[in-house]
Amino acid sequence: MLAIIGGTGLNEFSEGEVVGERHNHYGYTSAAIVQSEVAGRSVCFLARHGNPHTIAPHQVNYRANLWALKQLGVSQILAVNAVGGISPAMVAGALVSPDQLIDYTYGREHTLYDGSDDKLEHIDFSFPFAENLRGALSRAADSCALPLLDKAVYGVTQGPRLETAAEIDRMDRDGCDIVGMTAMPEAGLARELAMDYASLCLVVNPAAGRSDRLITMDDIHRVVDTGMVKVRALLTAALAELQ
Ligand SMILES: CSC[C@H]1O[C@H](OP(=O)(O)O)[C@H](O)[C@@H]1O
Ligand code: HPA
């Protein structure tokens, strides 16, 4: 089974049946998980920030979300993320499938190996995003004639505030191309649970200090409104690729 985790601007993917439990031993999932048929396959959808969108990125219960998806038999996750653009190619409106990440978050419940049982594994995380899913996204982008940038480092910040210009300069020096607040611990937990995970990012603003304007939510929402139409088309085509 494949799951889509929607972020800013993607609260619903399609109508469907509520499945699974909202509560597990990690607490409550962000929202009910909804299952439906898309492109001839069964897909689960979970709204990361709740529906309506009220949960801040540092307060998302990533462990409950990932655990609940695993219990439903999910083995592949396509995550949707709104991000800021750092490097010049990452302009507002661009679609990006990152191949690497750097985690700048802190204080989040970021692992299932928390001492609550006797288990401990040090998972390999050299390549955080699954190549089979990234390949499907690239083929889907070709079939929809939608440009998709498939090499980018996603820097994950704590939020919910946006970054300072100096923080973005530092992230640029570190090699980050895009910045968001949610890919970790989500991607790490997916790996701990042996689920393939890839991220489809929509660049919704130039990162702090990367344009001559301040960042406003109005500007972001304008990009989200048009960009999510492309995201939905690309996801639907990717699901067909993954049959
Ligand atoms: C200025 S919008 C910030 C918000 O959008 C992104 O969320 P998501 O990855 O769930 O689409 C970013 O990480 C922040 O949480
Ligand atoms: O500029 C940003 N910074 C962090 N997260 C974001 N999510 C969308 N835009 C941004």
Q: Dump pLDDT digits (tens) for 22-40.
A: 999 999 999 999 999 988 8
ipTM for the complex shown: 0.99
Residue 209 CA to residue 223 CA, distance in Å, equals 18
Q: Indicate the pTM of the whole model.
A: 0.98
The secondary structure of 120-189 as a DSSP string is: ------SS-S-HHHHHHHHHHHHHHT--EE---EEEE---SSPPPHHHHHHHHHHT-SEEES-HHHHHHH
Return the pLDDT at 36.
95
Non-local (6+) Cβ contacts of 220 within 8 A are 8, 82, 204, 205
Closest-approaching ligand to the CA atom of 62: 1
pLDDT in tens, 48-67: 999 999 999 999 999 999 99
Average pLDDT, the chain: 97
Query: Ligand 1 atom closest to Cα of 181?
Result: 13
Q: Is 11 annotated as a binding residue?
A: no
The residue whose CA is least distant from atom 10 of ligand 2 is 84
pLDDT in tens, 186-200: 999 999 999 999 999
Q: Is 160 annotated as a binding residue?
A: no
The arithmetic mean of pLDDT across residues 155-176, rounded, is: 98
SS3 for 16? coil
Return the pLDDT at 77.
98
Q: What are phi and psi for residue 200, nearest 5 degrees?
A: -110, 110
Q: Is 226 annotated as a binding residue?
A: no
- For residue 189, the enclosing domain spans 2-241
Q: For ligand 2, say whether the CB of 6 is within 6 Å of any of its atoms.
A: no
- Structure tokens of 134? 């990234």
The total number of structural domains that make up the chain: 1
Query: Ligand 1 atom closest to Cα of 48?
Result: 10
Of 53, 96, 78, 93, the closest CA to residue 226 belongs to: 93
For residue 19, what is the domain's CATH number?
A: 3.40.50.1580
Residue 106 pLDDT exceeds 80: yes
In which residue are the tokens 């802190």 written? 106
